[in-house]
A = this chain, B = another copy of it.
Amino acid sequence: MREAAAVRAGQAGTAPPTAGAAGTNGRGDDPLRRRATAQSMAASQRDISVSEFFAKNRHLLGFDNPRKALLTTVKEAVDNALDACEEAGILPEIWVQIRPSGENRFQVAVQDNGPGILKKTIPLIFGKLLYGSKFHRLRMSRGQQGIGISAAGMYGLLTTGKPVKIVSKIGPGKPAHYYEIQINTKRNEPEILNGKGEGDEIPANARARQVMEKLGIEWIEVDHGTRVTIELEARYQRGRASVDEYLQQTALANPHVTLHYVDPEGHEKHYLRVADVLPPEPKEIKPHPYGIELGTLVAMLNESRAGTLHQFLTTSFSRVSAAVARRICEAAKLSPRASVRKIGRREADALYQALQNTRIPPPATDCISPIGEELLLKGLRQLVPGEFYAAATRPPAVYRGN
């Protein structure tokens, strides 16, 4: 009865009648079987919270297993710390401490000397998935997703029941703020557990130490910075893809960073900076035509304030000069003076093909912020024993995304 071979050419719509269907409507004949209908199915349809989704699908975010969960947690916290410092023009100093806190449990604490976080945004940054400042801009940074550190906190909560602890201070003479936060996965919202749901304030005076001790807060004295502590089910292991390796590589790739690390066995490592200047600031640039998709082009057309197609092309993209714009319009068989608002789906498609097929110079590279060969070599020499060192830089090309 079952035929795996091609039966004949033509439309599937004219396929031979099905053999073996039980009844003309194909319904099975077990009378006791519960039958869902279009109505009953519609009634059970509902929204799924993004936190619930990722609690179930944590492997998508790097929490596949206890070993990887530890690495991901450290990485998200350190990446955030580095990005915050660099954006604020501060030479980063970062403290990482991992302590065993029970069978298969560790407490990860990461502190920085960054600009600190405003009181009102602390709960959202650490207790809500898909919230952040880096997602929407077209600029290089380490974390982009608005999901990493809050996902780490959620993983900690799910595996140990412990909230995320955050201390942050935005400047000398300003109070520090302390929060114990847990994410409400049903609502994707932060719940503040301490200070009657308001968090605790630590005054910027001689009593600060005393208040911190009373609240059980650990804090390395800095004028401004943030410390986050997450307790999670994890496994500590040295070697490839370990926390130790990641931190060493981070020190190597970021010669302007000072990094202090205390591992779960109490061993300390101090990577001191070899460069006293921050790497050149990455620039936010317009997308290159080769790097966009049709969907992105349509969205750009919808949002553009340009009047004509020519204006749109020269103002929305990198490397599209007036001459290049004219050639693109010609290839798309569209007038450079065509109104952007009147470009329909078919014209957008033609424009997209023309953008891909017109010769356009490669993108500028000041949008990425390389460490530089000299500094890389300097870092390399100090961390890796050897007799000959070389660094190379390759020419740029375009790939989708930013």
Q: A91 near B38 (CB under 8 angstroms)?
A: no
Do the beta carbons of B53 and A295 come within 8 Å of each other? no
Check if A355 is an interface residue, CB within 8 A of chain B: no
Interface flag for A365 (CB, 8 Å): no
**A345 to B193 alpha-carbon distance, docked (Å):** 12
A382 within 8 A of B: yes
| A→B interface (CB under 8 Å) | 1-13, 15-16, 18-22, 24-28, 30, 33-39, 41-42, 44-50, 52-53, 55-57, 60, 84-85, 87-93, 95-97, 113, 115-118, 120-121, 124-125, 130-133, 135-137, 144-147, 157-162, 170-172, 185, 218, 220, 223-224, 248, 251, 258, 260-262, 266-278, 281, 293-296, 298-299, 345, 348-349, 379, 382-383, 401
Q: Is the interface of A mostly helix, strand, loop or mixed?
A: loop
| Inter-chain contacts of A13 with B (CB < 8 A) | 95, 218, 220
The residue among A46, A52, A60 with the most chain B CB atoms within 10 A of its own CB is A46
Q: When A48-B135, A272-B1 are in contact, do A158 and B41 touch as well, CB less than 8 Å?
A: no
A331 to B269, CA, bound (A): 41
Check if A135 sits within 8 Å of B91, measured CB to CB.
no
**For residue A35, which residues in chain B have a CB less than 8 angstroms away from its CB?**
88-89
Question: CB distance B401 to A56 under 8 Å?
Answer: yes
**Chain B residue at minimal CB-CB distance from A135:** B48
Task: Give chain B nearest CB distance to A213 CB in angstroms.
Answer: 13
Q: Are B258 and A21 in contact, with the CB atoms below 8 A?
A: yes
User: What chain B residues lie within 8 Å of A218 (beta carbons)?
Assistant: 13
Contacts of A135 in B (CB 8 A): 48, 52-53, 56
In the assembled complex, the Cα of A22 lies from the Cα of B89 at a distance in Å of 11
Whether the Cβ atoms of B6 and A269 lie closer than 8 Å is yes
B276 touches A22 (CB 8 A): yes
Minimum C-beta distance from A265 to chain B (A)? 10
For A113, the chain B residues whose CB sits under 8 A away are: 25-26
